């Protein structure tokens, strides 16, 4: 039987690469569920974060950054399918001009899908990097292109502005059954998340385009002595020539990646972790 007390809200977080979408999701959920990096296009799959507080369940979808580049068309297709079924659209920008200019492609899509959302809001993030006097102008400019219902100013680094935003979100929740159990936090499986943690470190230590050209798989997790866990992962590379770069001089890079990923895994799994990473080349493409 449905519980009339229960409330629900589903919100989609979209915006250009690197504006802080995944950082927002992590901050809302209260723990890391989506990886974050200084580089654009870090998020490659939709991640769901769920907050259940009092009677309300708030569900947020983190999406890959909107990008015009052709190779990312598939990515924006992914978010369009998620968008079929949400209540609030959260459009996020940061201090960069690039993030604040709204692409025609996105505007057209929104025009055609206007009725799908009960509300659409603008979040200006990284206000720690924006002069206060410029905020009004940025808000005016963006709202001139898309008429958002609300605008919020936040800094996820300084943890400012979140209260007003959260209060607003909670008020939007409507009577409905919850979609997830009370303790559910994210749709990402343990294995996938461990792969994501390693990918985050690859983003941190390996430069250029390589992080976008590999796939990380957690092959298995095995209990070991003293309650520790052994995690086995394979990094699948598109090109053979990437191998020495990931390994680094005397294996320094892979050691760094492995050590940092292991520390994060320990926090996440709340257990000592032994991490084994092997590198494999996917297709023997000549390079
Ligand atoms: N100065 C500042 N940096 C921030 C803030 N919020 C996030 N960042 C940084 O911005 C960078 C990008 O953050 P992400 O959360 O990965 O951005 P994203 O929008 O998910 O990026 P993609 O997944 O690539 O689309 C990271 O280095 C964050 O630490 C903020 O309020 N202030
Ligand atoms: Mg992201």
- 7-175 shares its CATH topology with 190-285: no
Q: Which of 218, 207, 225, 226 is nearest to 262 (CA)?
A: 218
Q: Are 32 and 49 in contact (CB under 8 A)?
A: no
Q: Which of 112, 104, 130, 99 is nearest to 14 (CA)?
A: 99
- Binned at pLDDT 50, 70 and 90, residue 68 comes out as low
Give the closest residue (by CA) to ligand 1 atom 27: 38
Ligand 1 atom closest to Cα of 66?
25
Burial of 197 (0-12, 13-18, 19+ CB in 10 A): buried
Q: Are 14 and 90 in contact (CB under 8 A)?
A: yes
Q: Are 41 and 17 in contact (CB under 8 A)?
A: yes
pLDDT tens-digit series, residues 39-62 = 877 877 778 899 999 999 999 998
- 190-285 is classed in which CATH architecture? 2-Layer Sandwich (3.30)
The residue whose CB lies within 8 Å of the most ligand 1 atoms, and thus the one to mutate among 13, 18, 78, is 18
Instruction: Determine if ligand 1 sits within 6 Å of the CB of residue 21.
Output: yes
Fold of 7-175: Rossmann fold (3.40.50)
Give the closest residue (by CA) to ligand 1 atom 21: 18
pLDDT tens-digit series, residues 136-167 = 999 999 999 999 999 999 999 999 999 999 99
Give the closest residue (by CA) to ligand 1 atom 9: 20
Residue ranges covered by each domain of the chain? 7-175, 190-285
């Amino acid at each position: 039987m449905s519980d009339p007390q229960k409330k629900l809200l589903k919100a989609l977080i979209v915006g250009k690469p690197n504006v802080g979408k995944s950082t927002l999701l992590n901050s809302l959920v209260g723990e890391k569920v989506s990886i974050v990096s200084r580089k654009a296009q870090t998020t490659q799959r939709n991640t769901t974060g769920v907050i259940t507080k009092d009677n309300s369940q708030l569900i947020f979808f983190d999406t890959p950054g909107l990008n015009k580049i052709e190779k990312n068309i598939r990515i924006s297709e992914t978010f369009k399918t998620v968008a079929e079924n949400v209540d609030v659209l959260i459009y996020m920008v940061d201090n960069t001009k690039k993030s604040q200019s709204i692409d025609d492609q996105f505007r057209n899509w929104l025009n055609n899908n206007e009725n799908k959302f009960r509300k659409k809001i603008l979040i200006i993030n990284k206000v720690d990097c924006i002069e206060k006097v410029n905020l009004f102008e940025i808000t005016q400019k963006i709202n001139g292109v898309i008429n958002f219902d609300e605008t919020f100013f936040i800094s996820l680094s300084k943890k400012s502005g979140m209260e007003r935003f959260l209060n607003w979100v909670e008020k939007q929740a409507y009577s409905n059954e919850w979609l997830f159990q009370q303790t559910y936090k994210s749709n990402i499986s343990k294995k996938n998340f461990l792969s994501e943690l390693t990918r985050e470190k690859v983003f941190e230590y390996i430069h250029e385009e390589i992080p976008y050209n590999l796939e990380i798989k957690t092959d298995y997790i095995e209990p070991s002595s003293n309650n520790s866990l052994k995690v086995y992962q394979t990094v699948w590379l598109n090109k053979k020539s990437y191998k020495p770069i990931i390994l680094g001089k005397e294996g320094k890079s892979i050691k760094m990646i492995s050590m940092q990923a292991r520390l994060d895994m320990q926090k996440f799994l709340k257990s000592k972790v032994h991490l084994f990473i092997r590198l494999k080349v996917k297709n023997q493409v000549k390079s």
